[in-house]
Amino acid sequence: MTVLRLVLGDQLNRCHSWFAENRADVVYVFMEVRQETDYVLHHAQKILAIFSAMRQFAEELKLAGHRVDYCRIGDADNCHNFPANLDRLIAHYQATGLQWQQPDEWRLDRQLYEYASSLPIPAKALDSEHFFTARDEAQRLFQGKSRWLMESFYRTMRVKHGVLLEGQGKPVGGLWNYDAENRKAWPGIPPQPPDRRPTHDCRNLWEEIQTAGVRSFGNPQAGALRWPVNRAEALAQLNDFIEYSLPYFGQFQDAISTQAPRLFHSLLSFALNVKLLSPQEVVAAAETAYRAGKAPLAAIEGFIRQILGWREYVRGVYWAKMPDYAGSNYFQAVRPLPTWYWTGKTNMRCLAFAIGQSLDMAYAHHIQRLMLTGNFALLAGIDPQALHEWYLGIYIDAFEWVELPNTLGMSQFADGGFMATKPYVSTAAYIDRMGDSCRACRYDRKARIGERACPFNSLYWDFYLRHASLLERNPRIGMAYRQLAKMTEVELNGIQTQAEYCLGRMDEL
């Protein structure tokens, strides 16, 4: 009697009840497959980090006495997709059962269910025991609502899980949300926290990946990969974040800097998304830091909101709305992605820096994603599907369940405002206020028109003009339309001509 338990590359949860006991009749199976490396073009570090973490996890299981069957990317008998490899393993072990943990991606969920339903042996999916919420919990909470407000979801979660509460279900400090205190630009002080992330030599693995013919982009950093690939490293990174960055996380959460790629962000998304860390322990560590007086409430609340609020909420949106959500395109945007999204070679200094950093580190923080690459794409009418594939490929933490709602819903308003109350767009003024890239930029942050005018400016107003029929009744955007109403015909024509000029030579911007 042998039961196969499939462990996916983003299910490296050592605390899962599967691993609580050693069972001689269970074989844990891991697969490095082209199906997963190739569904979009991935950043090299993403492939390296996932495979490294999978290999270390499998080794740890073996050391703990579990039976493991690991299929490497270069193995001759690797069929490079889950069903064919599972067929092979079921035959090899004469398996009497198959189990897997519920995948977080719709695509894999379907594939494994369909595969399992064709099997002659019992097969079942179990909970991944990772999230605060069940897949359908947000849907149940928002039953019948046409808009899902994250803030109300977040408050419900705070109460349900007893996080940052005092008295009878009241928020500590009296407020649920301290966002108003979290919008400062970073003046260079305090300095960035020390980067004590581990360094891994992955050159052999990189060789295997390349020999197998896997395509990728971005800097592999194979000799010095800086992502945590086991639980001990992930926990150390969490501790470092709490100690050095969390105290400043809130204030500078919305800042952008060419001097500091991460600012005070945690860099924990990879460890969380592959389940080396649990969201519960990360939230608990932040709350403990608050009770110990190690960081201000605004910082801690802001950080906890990202995990207990946003992360669980986007997962809820994903499971409620897939598969149709993937096709959302409210503005019917069709332009291809400018070529410099793949190279970072643009004269817009903010974007050159954010994209260059992403190619180098496979990481950009939230405001770089939302207010630089996302902002530009929305203003320029880029096809949201092309942009989604780009985000899904480039970031170390990109898994569709979390990337897709963030890209289509939050960043591109492609769902027509189901997630966001208004489109996240801005002129150069916002980018200048929150960052340090504009002053040395080839473009003039203050000009709307002319060869040197920052493209964000004309594209911003042109975006509102182009989409007036869809947006002008939105009360949260009233100000923009009131400003447009005050502009003269000549000004409006100038803006539109400038925007057309920018859109016509997008690759050269």
Phi-psi region of 164 (alpha: psi -120 to 50; beta: other; left: phi over 0): left
Contact residue for ligand FAD among 36, 109, 397, 462 (CB under 6 A): 397
Residue 56 structure tokens? 């270390």
The answer to whether the CB of 424 falls within 8 A of the CB of 372 is no
At closest approach, how far in Å is the CB of 249 from ligand FAD? 7
By CB under 6 A, tell whether 251 contacts ligand FAD: no
Contact residue for ligand FAD among 234, 410, 414, 499 (CB under 6 A): 410
By CB under 6 A, tell whether 273 contacts ligand FAD: yes
**Nearer CB in complex with ligand FAD: 269/427:** 269
By CB under 6 A, tell whether 278 contacts ligand FAD: no
**Nearer CB in complex with ligand FAD: 273/457:** 273
Q: Which of residues 328-367 bind ligand FAD (CB under 6 A)?
A: 365-366
By CB under 6 A, tell whether 209 contacts ligand FAD: no
At closest approach, how far in Å is the CB of 72 from ligand FAD? 26
By CB under 6 A, tell whether 398 contacts ligand FAD: yes
By CB under 6 A, tell whether 269 contacts ligand FAD: yes
At closest approach, how far in Å is the CB of 140 from ligand FAD? 20
How far from the centroid of its chain's Cα atoms is residue 286's Cα?
A: 20
**Nearer CB in complex with ligand FAD: 80/369:** 369
Question: Which of 481, 482, 498 lies closest to 490, judged by CA?
Answer: 498
At closest approach, how far in Å is the CB of 32 from ligand FAD? 21
By CB under 6 A, tell whether 46 contacts ligand FAD: no
**Nearer CB in complex with ligand FAD: 68/307:** 307
Question: Which of 436, 483, 476 lies closest to 460, judged by CA?
Answer: 483
**CA distance readout (Å), 293 to 61, 178, 246, 298:** 38, 17, 12, 12
Binding residues for ligand FAD, rule CB under 6 A, total: 27
By CB under 6 A, tell whether 460 contacts ligand FAD: no
What per-residue string of b and e applies to 185-204 under the rule 16 or more CB within 10 Å gives b? bbeeeeebbeeebbebebee
By CB under 6 A, tell whether 172 contacts ligand FAD: no
By CB under 6 A, tell whether 306 contacts ligand FAD: yes
**CA distance readout (Å), 195 to 83, 232, 234, 455:** 41, 16, 13, 34
3-state secondary structure labels for all residues of 340-407: HHCCCCCCCHHHHHHHHHHHHHCCCCHHHHHHHHHHHHHHHCECHHHHHHHHHHHCCCCCHHHHHHHH
Radius of gyration of the chain (CA): 24
| 8-state DSSP, 25 | T
Contact residue for ligand FAD among 171, 218, 250, 374 (CB under 6 A): 374
By CB under 6 A, tell whether 370 contacts ligand FAD: yes
Contact residue for ligand FAD among 42, 43, 130, 311 (CB under 6 A): 311
Q: What share of the chain is helix, strand, coil (3-state, %, to 5)?
A: 50, 5, 40
Residue 48 structure tokens? 């390296």
Chain residues in the site for ligand FAD (CB under 6 A): 265-269, 272-273, 306-307, 310-311, 314, 365-366, 369-370, 374, 391, 395, 397-398, 402-403, 406-407, 410-411
